[in-house]
């Protein structure tokens, strides 16, 4: 507890013990020890007996003086560090030399830590001593840890790794949330709100203004993205940069070549739309990548691979296509649409680019524009034609039935091209949002085979299940249930546990709307296998309990409303011409 005092020439408990062991007059020895080691203030000696008369122990008095002096010293350290004097850091280093031997002493440790915290460059020897001692490392300020971390990537990785795992767990929990709504989904929180998350704030604090640590975190994110293909690491890359932007950390923002691009894209994500002005700004950044600096495309592609960025780009493409339809214009003639497709393509190719280390924009397959988009638009036209046909008077109607097949090029591009597939999936969501049952029944079976099984990814299934709540009444139809479950979800649930979970999530909300015979079959089919995760078992148990509760208290049946108007029968005096029936 008193380690380090002898080094400074200050007596400790061991010295007192030795003095008392070897002396002949203990009381005199104690007085002498107090005189030599007490507060060296002559006027205090005569005042101390007054404290004795009041029953105040000397320990309590000395402790209160010590605490007061320690607070004053710590305040003074902060004042010196924040001052303008040229030799301020030399003063702090001298104080560190004097106080560091007492760093293990609990009462002095806060002073030592305060000095370390305010030194922009702690002597390497002291840093190594702090790093080697687990207790000291644990209590030292983040400012000191930054200096340790910047030369110890493995140690920094150990600190950051649990936070990155926590971030992914939180994102996946949001995708499997028990809430099922089109209004409050994965993409609902604004960018600013997302940046207030615990992990982003902690990482921002750990990095501070240290460019080296920022680069390390980016390298961790690239490595993990390559290893796992998990796009949430791309989200964190963008959120971290914008969190530092919010704090105005120019030391980092000014050296990250992606800063202005990310800032502009962040504004688009907030609006969930890329307008013409911002589209031109973003294009300027992409076109401005100079020869020899192509590596920045790797980071730009990661930022565009962020699901929030991708969501904004595809929603903007859908809006753009609607405008083109209303103007009878071709997709290839729209510069804004071509730029959105270019950015979507760059984002979708992020993993390949970072993996191959070939930093070159992927070429957009022009047939996506000349063949796939017209095929998708023809589906829109078919639907519109059928809707108009239904509104015509019966004598003008043709025998036109709703088409069930899709253009061959539409199906082919869904399977072979990831940019086309992304647009196709969002078109399905658009159809569901419009509550267009016919078009949805036509499109869903085509999603069984998509590029890289994108239709069975968590983000799309999270959105689709939320959108299907808008068509809840349609689940009473055997045909609709057959398309949604047999024609799509159940085609892969046995091999993909996430599909199984999303199906159960949806049924937890819609089970009372689903055709009873269909629900009975689904419960047997969706019974989890023995080798499955706990969340899946839990979901199935919840659904079973809900079904049991529903059986015990069935919803009240709608009775045919009575035609009784509440009028009492009135007897009318009988005459030859009036009937005797009461009214």
CA separation for the pair 569, 405 (Å, rounded): 63
Length of the chain measured in residues: 583
Handedness of CA 514, 520, 523, 524 (dihedral sign): negative
Closest CA to 100 of 19, 174, 8, 23: 8
Identify the pLDDT of residue 32.
Answer: 77
CA distance 148 to 116: 12
pLDDT tens, position by position, 299-331: 999 999 999 999 999 999 999 999 988 888 888
pLDDT digits (tens, 9 = 90+) for 393-438: 876 666 677 888 899 999 999 999 999 999 999 999 999 999 999 9
Contact assessment for residue 502 and residue 492, using Cβ atoms and an 8 Å cutoff:
no
At 299 the pLDDT is: 95
What H or E segment, with its residue span, contains residue 481? Answer: helix 478-481
Pairwise CA distance, residues 111 & 77, whole Å: 9
Paired tokens of 87: 């030799």
What's the confidence (pLDDT) of residue 4?
58
Contact 407, 436 (CB under 8 A): no
Distance CA 247, CA 259 (A): 13
Nearest Cα residue to 148 out of 160, 131, 164: 131
Cβ(489)–Cβ(456) below 8 Å: no
Q: Is the dihedral of CA 192, 196, 197, 203 positive or negative?
A: positive
Q: How many CB atoms lie within 10 A of CB 199?
A: 21
The span from the CA of 427 to the CA of 47, in Å, is 87
- How far, CA to CA in Å, does 143 sit from each of 148, 150, 233? 9, 11, 26
What distance lies between CA 525 and its chain's CA centroid?
33
CA 150, 152, 156, 158: dihedral to nearest 10 degrees? 180
CA neighbours closer than 13 Å in the CB half-sphere of residue 194? 23
Rounded to the nearest 10 degrees, the angle between the axes of helix 418-433 and helix 373-391 is 20
Q: List the structure tokens of 191.
A: 């960018």
Reference 2, options 118, 109, 136; nearest CA is 109
Query: Half-sphere exposure (CA, 13 Å, Cβ side) for 191?
Result: 28
Return the structure tokens found at 182.
Answer: 């089109």
pTM as predicted: 0.85
Q: Which residues contact residue 472 at a Cβ distance below 8 angstroms, ignoring those fewer than 6 apart?
A: 510, 513
Neighbouring residues of 436: CB distance < 8 A, sequence distance ≥ 6: 383
Calculate the alpha carbon distances from 563 to 254, 557, 560, 569, 583 in Å: 77, 18, 9, 15, 14
Distance (Å, whole) CA 263 – CA 238: 9
Distance of CA 226 to the CA centre of its chain: 19
User: What angle is formed at CA 190 by the lines to CA 188 and CA 195, rounded to 5 degrees?
Assistant: 125
Do the Cβ atoms of 1 and 109 come closer than 8 Å? no
pLDDT in tens, the chain (583 residues): 455 566 666 767 777 788 788 888 888 877 777 777 777 677 777 777 777 788 888 778 878 888 888 899 889 988 888 888 888 888 898 888 888 888 888 888 888 899 999 999 999 999 999 999 899 999 999 999 999 999 999 999 999 999 999 999 999 999 999 888 888 899 999 999 999 999 999 999 999 999 999 999 999 999 999 999 999 999 999 999 999 999 999 999 999 999 999 999 999 999 999 998 999 999 999 999 888 888 999 999 999 999 999 999 999 999 999 998 888 888 888 999 999 999 999 999 999 999 999 999 999 899 999 999 999 989 988 888 888 887 778 766 666 778 888 999 999 999 999 999 999 999 999 999 999 999 999 999 999 999 999 999 999 999 999 999 999 999 999 999 999 999 999 998 888 999 999 999 999 999 999 999 999 999 999 999 988 899 999 999 999 999 888 887 765 554 444 444 444 444 444 444 444 434 3
| Distance spanning both ends of the chain, measured CA to CA | 103
Helical segments of 57-190, H only: 58-82, 88-99, 109-118, 124-132, 134-139, 142-149, 153-175
**HEC letters along 414-439:** HHHCHHHHHHHHHHHHHHHHCCCHHH
């Amino acid at each position: 507890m008193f380690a380090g005092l002898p080094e400074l020439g200050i007596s400790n408990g061991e010295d007192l013990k030795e003095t008392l062991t070897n002396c002949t007059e203990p009381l005199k020895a104690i007085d002498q020890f107090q005189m030599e080691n007490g507060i060296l203030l002559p006027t205090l000696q005569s005042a101390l007996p007054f404290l004795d008369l009041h029953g105040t122990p000397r320990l309590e008095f000395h402790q209160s003086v010590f605490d007061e002096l320690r607070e004053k010293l710590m305040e003074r350290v902060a004042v010196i560090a924040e001052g303008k004097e040229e030799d301020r850091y030399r003063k702090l280093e001298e104080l560190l030399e004097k106080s560091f031997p007492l760093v293990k002493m609990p009462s002095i440790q806060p002073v030592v830590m305060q000095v370390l915290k305010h030194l922009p460059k702690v002597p390497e020897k002291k840093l190594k001593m702090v790093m080697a001692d687990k207790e000291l490392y644990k209590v030292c300020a983040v400012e000191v840890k930054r200096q340790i971390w910047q030369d110890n990537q493995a140690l920094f990785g150990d600190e950051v790794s649990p936070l990155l795992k926590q971030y992914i767990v939180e994102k996946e929990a949001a995708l499997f949330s028990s809430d099922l709504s089109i209004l409050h989904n994965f993409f609902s929180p604004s960018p600013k709100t997302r940046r207030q998350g615990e992990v982003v704030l902690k990482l921002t604090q750990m990095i501070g203004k240290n460019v080296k640590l920022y680069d390390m975190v980016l390298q961790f994110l690239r490595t993990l993205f390559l290893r796992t293909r998990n796009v949430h690491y791309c989200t964190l890359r963008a959120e971290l940069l914008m969190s530092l932007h919010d704090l105005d950390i120019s030391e980092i923002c000014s050296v990250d070549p992606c800063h202005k691009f990310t800032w502009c894209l962040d504004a688009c994500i907030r609006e969930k739309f890329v307008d013409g002005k911002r589209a031109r700004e973003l294009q300027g950044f992409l076109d401005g990548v100079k020869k020899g600096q192509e590596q920045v495309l790797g980071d730009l592609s990661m930022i565009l691979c962020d699901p929030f960025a991708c969501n904004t780009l595809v929603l903007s493409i859908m809006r753009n296509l609607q405008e083109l339809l209303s103007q009878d214009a071709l997709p290839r003639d729209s510069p804004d649409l071509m730029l959105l497709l270019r950015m979507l393509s760059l984002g979708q190719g992020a993993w390949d680019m970072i993996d191959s280390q070939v930093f070159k924009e992927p070429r957009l397959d022009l047939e996506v524009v000349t063949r796939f988009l017209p095929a998708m638009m023809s589906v829109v036209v078919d639907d519109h034609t059928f809707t108009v046909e239904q509104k015509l008077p019966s004598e003008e109607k043709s025998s036109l039935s709703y088409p069930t097949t899709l253009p061959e090029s539409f199906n082919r591009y869904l399977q072979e091209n990831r940019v086309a597939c992304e647009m196709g999936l969002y078109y399905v969501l658009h159809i569901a949002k419009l509550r267009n049952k016919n078009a949805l029944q036509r499109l869903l079976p085509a999603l069984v085979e998509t590029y890289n099984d994108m239709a069975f990814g968590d983000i799309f299934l999270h959105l689709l299940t939320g959108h299907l709540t808008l068509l809840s009444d349609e689940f009473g139809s055997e045909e609709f249930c057959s398309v949604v479950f047999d024609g799509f979800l159940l085609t892969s649930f046995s091999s993909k546990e996430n599909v199984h979970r999303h199906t159960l999530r949806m049924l937890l909300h819609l089970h009372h709307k689903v055709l009873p015979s269909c629900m009975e079959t689904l419960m047997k089919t969706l019974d989890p296998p023995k080798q499955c995760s706990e969340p899946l078992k839990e979901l199935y148990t919840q659904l079973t309990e809900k079904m049991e509760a529903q059986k015990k208290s069935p919803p009240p049946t709608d009775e045919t409303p009575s035609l009784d108007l509440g009028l009492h029968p009135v007897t009318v005096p009988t005459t030859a011409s009036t009937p005797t029936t009461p009214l």
